[in-house]
Amino acid sequence: MTLKSLMTAAALAAATLSAWAAEAVDVQNAWVRATVPGQMATGAFMTLTAKDGAKLVGASSPVAGVAQVHEMKMEGSVMKMAAVQGGLDLPAGKAVQLKPGGYHIMLMDLKSTMAKDSTVPLTLIFQDAKGVESKMELKLPVASTPPGGMGMEMGHGMSMPMPASK
């Protein structure tokens, strides 16, 4: 097999994996919280529904040095935040909210200010039941509060359709 045919096969496999994610996981109400100059971290929020079940195992964005799946929770009277180890389960057909004060994508070591009304590219990394990873490329709107005027605790208010697979 030539190098060119190997590269073509690898590109086709990557496109197939990305198509799986676009068909298998629905993303709704996605947004990134705006920042002020000098702020080095922010959150990305959305609702994920996996058709057949999956895990959200990672994320990346060119606007951040680090992107992680995080969880905020109360331990006693202290609010704690940490990376989710092993991925966030997305049970088949059940909506999982990534919202302020709960699960979210933490964008850290920001390279610039996240300006309101701009967009942020974000790649979500999923794993299916067989352990196969796939990526989904998104562009999320940046807002000071959740789009649609919903309360911060709701973490939703706008719908973001997924691109059709190729």
Write out pLDDT tens, residues 110-120.
999 999 999 99
| pLDDT the model gives residue 7 | 40
The answer as to whether 116 is a domain residue is yes
Write out pLDDT tens, residues 80-104.
889 999 999 999 999 999 999 999 9
φ, ψ for residue 28, nearest 5 deg: -130, 155
Bridge-partner residues for 68, per DSSP? 106
Q: Please list the ranges in the chain whose pLDDT falls under 50.
A: 2-20, 149-166
Q: Whole-angstrom Cα distance, residue 82 to residue 114?
A: 22
Domain count, the chain: 1
The answer as to whether 133 is a domain residue is yes
The answer as to whether 79 is a domain residue is yes
| pLDDT the model gives residue 24 | 86
What one-letter code names the amino acid at 51?
K
The answer as to whether 15 is a domain residue is no
The CATH number linked to 36 is 2.60.40.1890
The answer as to whether 13 is a domain residue is no
Element (DSSP H or E) covering residue 19: helix 3-24
The answer as to whether 153 is a domain residue is no
Q: Whole-angstrom Cα distance, residue 79 to residue 58?
A: 23
Bridge-partner residues for 50, per DSSP? 25, 92
Q: Which domain holds residue 110?
A: 26-148
**pTM score, two decimals?**
0.76
